[in-house]
């Protein structure tokens, strides 16, 4: 017997446990499934990369491998065994196939990863990884304010490659944080032939495109496909915001920590909505907008390069979070 749709759950792990016995045929893809795949994309699958490329691997086997061999991630909070076990033992997610995976990293130039999840015979979710614990990933975030970043170029190339590889498939594209930005950028910049294969684009608390760097008229072709979800204390998702319809959701924890998708509250098959972004968050966002408005692109580049290059030159390449001791 299933709980009622309005059941309140702590986070998406509870959702997996509750909804896990229902296939996508019985209960269609929803915004929480989007969050599950976006979170999973933070996990390092390099050890499975050859198997993924050759035959693909189901999430049940992927999760069991990660649990038994040790797993690594660069997410801002713990991606624990409970999450992996819930996925592995669920009918809904266990049979999902990981068919495409890429992970690129250079300690001074870029951080990029994406995972393709075939959750139905002709439906795939492409998840772009967000900012991990690497210093260069944070540098790329700030670089968005004055240039197209390497991760955006990689995202566009990967999206076109995956869509071309699966001609009989329709796609949902998404990601969390920087991953949401990559989903928007790649979908906006690809040609109409590829855009026609994309049904929905999820931006989970990620920045939009900087209109001083990219002509945001490119958004017109995809704007009706975008679903943007942000926590009530939203900072990251309001950067360069040019999305009209935003879903603001209730989140546990304080201030910036609400950026963690594991803190977002769920009701049934949706996140729990609230009416507006927190007033204090709005004040901070207006201040940040003013700073950007009064700083030209060359100055932004100078500040960002000086700040992050000094950190990297000390030999520091990663922040002290996540479980990332062998990722290179």
- Six-digit token pair at 147? 């240039």
Question: Residue 3, SS3?
Answer: coil
Cα 65 to Cα 91: distance, rounded to the nearest angstrom: 18
Q: Are 132 and 42 in contact (CB under 8 A)?
A: yes
Over residues 164-174, the mean pLDDT reads 97
The packing angle between helices 150-165 and 178-189, to 10°, is 60
Half-sphere exposure of 54 (CA within 13 A, CB side): 4
Q: What is the pTM assigned to this prediction? A: 0.92
Query: What confidence tier does 323 reach under pLDDT thresholds 50, 70, 90?
Result: low
Residue for token pair 């963690």: 260
Give the DSSP H/E element, type plus range, for residue 63: helix 59-69
Tally of residues, the chain: 328
CA dihedral 111→173→152→214, nearest 10 degrees, is -150
CA 210 to chain centre: 18
For the chain, which domains are there? 8-313 (3.40.50)
E-state strands within 205-256: 226-231, 246-249
Cα 36 to Cα 13: distance, rounded to the nearest angstrom: 8
Cα angle 156, 158, 161 (rounded to 5 degrees) comes to: 110
Question: Residue 67, SS3?
Answer: helix
Q: How many CB atoms lie within 10 A of CB 25?
A: 8
Least confident of 49-63, 120-134, 143-157, 308-322: 308-322
Over residues 72-92, the mean pLDDT reads 91
Query: What confidence tier does 328 reach under pLDDT thresholds 50, 70, 90?
Result: very low
- pLDDT tens-digit profile of 89-134? 999 999 999 999 999 999 889 999 999 999 999 999 999 999 888 8
pLDDT of residue 112: 96
Give the C-alpha distances (Å, rounded to integers) separating 166 from 98, 121, 127, 265: 13, 11, 16, 34
Q: How many helices and strands, by DSSP H and E, does the chain display? A: 12, 11
For residue 153, report the phi and psi dihedrals to the nearest 5 degrees: -65, -40
Over residues 186-207, the mean pLDDT reads 97
For residue 267, report the phi and psi dihedrals to the nearest 5 degrees: -130, 115
């Amino acid at each position: 017997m299933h709980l009622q749709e309005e059941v309140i759950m702590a986070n998406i792990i509870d959702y997996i446990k509750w909804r896990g016995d229902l296939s996508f045929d019985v209960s269609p893809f929803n915004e929480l499934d989007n969050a599950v795949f976006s979170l999973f994309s933070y996990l390092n699958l390099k050890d499975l990369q050859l198997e993924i490329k050759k035959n693909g691997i189901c999430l049940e086997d992927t999760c069991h491998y990660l649990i038994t061999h040790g797993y690594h991630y660069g997410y801002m909070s713990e991606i624990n065994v409970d999450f992996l076990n819930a996925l592995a033992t669920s009918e809904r997610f266990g049979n999902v196939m990981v068919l495409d995976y890429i992970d690129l990293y250079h300690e001074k130039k870029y951080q990029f990863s994406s995972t393709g999840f075939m959750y139905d015979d002709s439906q795939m979710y492409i998840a772009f990884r967000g900012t991990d614990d690497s210093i260069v990933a944070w540098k790329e975030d700030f670089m968005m304010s004055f240039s197209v970043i390497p991760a955006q170029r990689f995202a566009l190339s990967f999206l076109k490659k995956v869509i071309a590889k699966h001609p009989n498939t329709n796609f949902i594209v998404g990601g969390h944080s920087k991953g949401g930005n990559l989903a928007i950028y790649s979908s906006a910049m690809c040609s109409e032939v590829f855009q026609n294969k994309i049904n929905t684009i999820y931006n989970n608390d990620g920045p939009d495109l900087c209109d001083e760097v990219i002509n945001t008229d490119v958004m017109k072709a995809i704007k009706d496909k975008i679903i943007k979800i942000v926590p009530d204390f939203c900072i990251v998702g309001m950067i360069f915001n040019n999305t009209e319809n935003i879903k603001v959701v209730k989140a546990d924890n304080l201030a910036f920590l609400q950026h963690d998708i594991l803190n977002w509250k769920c009701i049934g098959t949706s996140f729990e909505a609230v009416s507006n972004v927190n007033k204090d968050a709005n004040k901070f966002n207006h201040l940040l907008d003013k700073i950007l408005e009064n700083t030209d692109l060359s100055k932004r580049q100078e500040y960002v390069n000086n700040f992050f290059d000094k950190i990297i030159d000390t030999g520091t390449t990663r922040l002290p979070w996540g479980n990332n001791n062998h990722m290179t």
